[in-house]
Amino acid sequence: MASHPNFLQQVDRMFAKAAALTDHADGLLAQISICNSVYKMEFPLVRDDGSIEVIKAWRAEHSHHKLPTKGGIRFDLSVNEDEVAALATLMTYKCAIVNVPFGGGKGGIKIKRSDYSDAELERITRRYTFELFNKSFIGPGTDVPAPDYGSSAREMAWIMDTYRTLSDDPLSAQACVTGKPIAQGGVRGRTEATGLGVFFGIRECVSFEEDMQRRGLTSGIEGKTVVVQGLGNVGYHAAKYMQEGGATLVGLAEYEGAIHNPEGLDLEAVMAHRKSTGSILNFPGATNIEESAKALELECDILIPAALEGVITKDNAARIQAKIIGEAANGPVTADADAILLEKNVLILPDVFLNAGGVTVSYFEWLKNLSHVRFGRLSKRFEQASNERIVKALAAAMQVDIPSDEMMRLTAGADEVDLVYSGLEETMAVAYQETRETAHAKDTDLRTAAFINAINKVAVTYSEMGIFP
């Protein structure tokens, strides 16, 4: 039986395809693609019943061309060294694509999270941080973790607290990890950042009329039919912003099944229905699809897989009817499926670009922690007063009265969340434009183009360091 390439091999394959379209020397390409350091650790956990268990964990720093390195920590039984290295590799390219000045990193702790009590999880997280600290694998200027599968803001707060007690630089210790709770130095807008970034990326993509015409579509989000798989953090927020932008959600899929209504599904009503019944199935007015994965094959303009990797394979790719696929999840389309879909003229927005909203806003959190001030704090009132003077002068010149609530709306200064959203919107729009330009210039697909841009940006850093001429 032919074996499927593992995650790292798939990433290497994508790299090789893009690298062939650049003119960098082989030695430089080798340096860019290899994982610079992997720290494997095993440490004891004293369980609540007094027994001792050995925990396996890793931290990979793929590229030190920019520091710190950055990437989440997975808590899952499936974690292994190859996967951590592959995910760290993707982080290098992801950061480069969205112009976030970090190298790629990733961590993993091999546990089934639900098997451990909260106190045990805290001990594991703190010990993991201690091990990272001991080997200089964590710090605001060296390596900055974040949440990933199985970890959340709570674990990030434990990491920060542990690091702070060990570090001799209490002033910047908060910047050693991102994705923290707001009260612990987190940034507003981080929770929805990835889903909102997915929306901004798709909106930029569908704004190009000629690209849409080539797929029999008109430009703009308005009126587009959308199917979303996975209603977790990323999928829910992507669906929410797509619906608010004027798209029609015609299909929604969760692990228990999927629902379909060509007339549209109201997202909040579906979420409320799921909360009260425990399932999205039997939503009023919708048709049930018992085999959830079949939702991927529904007729729609845009398909957003936002649950798991490897859901579109060579087995179902030919049956996909969407004209655009927005990879909100990491690795939802396998390399074989990618080739089939490109042959069918499907426009694929690659994960390495489309779900980069999370790391983008993590970058903003890191900046906030280092500057010790909430975004907007210094400028909000000043902006408001300036805006008010302009609006009042215009109103006087035009001899109109502006109601006070309208005046407040027109003159409001930007707060932290406004600035985070605006920075995210700019980042996703610019990254899409850069990717699209390269795709046109090299006559290739968006995924390869995104990798080419990433390789070029990392290469420039190495040559500026004088390491490679």
Which residues here bind ligand NAD, judged by CB under 6 A? 149, 194, 229-235, 253-255, 292, 306-308, 328-330, 355, 358
Count CB neighbours of 162 within 10 A: 22
56 given a catalytic annotation: no
Contact 204, 312 (CB under 8 A): no
In the complex with ligand NAD, the residue whose CB is nearer, 123 or 368, is: 368
Three-state secondary structure readout of 333-361: ECHHHHHHHHHCCCEEECHHHHCCHHHHH
In the complex with ligand NAD, the residue whose CB is nearer, 72 or 127, is: 72
Count CB neighbours of 47 within 10 A: 15
In the complex with ligand NAD, the residue whose CB is nearer, 22 or 233, is: 233
> Please, what is the minimum distance in Å from the beta carbon of residue 355 to ligand NAD?
4
> Please, what is the minimum distance in Å from the beta carbon of residue 257 to ligand NAD?
9
Angle between helices 446-464 and 7-19 (to 10 degrees): 80
Which residue in 279, 251, 281 sits closest to 264, CA to CA?
Answer: 251
What does DSSP assign to residue 60?
Answer: E
> Please, what is the minimum distance in Å from the beta carbon of residue 231 to ligand NAD?
5
Beta bridge partners of 54: 44
Q: Which of 94, 106, 224, 323 is catalytic?
A: 106
| Tokens found for residue 429 | 């729009």
> Please, what is the minimum distance in Å from the beta carbon of residue 227 to ligand NAD?
11
Q: How many residues does the chain have?
A: 469
**Which amino acid is located at 425 in the chain?**
E
Contact 55, 42 (CB under 8 A): yes
Contact 201, 432 (CB under 8 A): yes
In the complex with ligand NAD, the residue whose CB is nearer, 118 or 291, is: 291
What does DSSP assign to residue 226?
Answer: E
In the complex with ligand NAD, the residue whose CB is nearer, 157 or 306, is: 306
Nearest residue to ligand NAD on Cβ basis: 232
> Please, what is the minimum distance in Å from the beta carbon of residue 22 to ligand NAD?
26
> Please, what is the minimum distance in Å from the beta carbon of residue 344 to ligand NAD?
23
In the complex with ligand NAD, the residue whose CB is nearer, 275 or 378, is: 275
d(CA 317, CA 440): 24
Which residues are catalytically annotated?
106
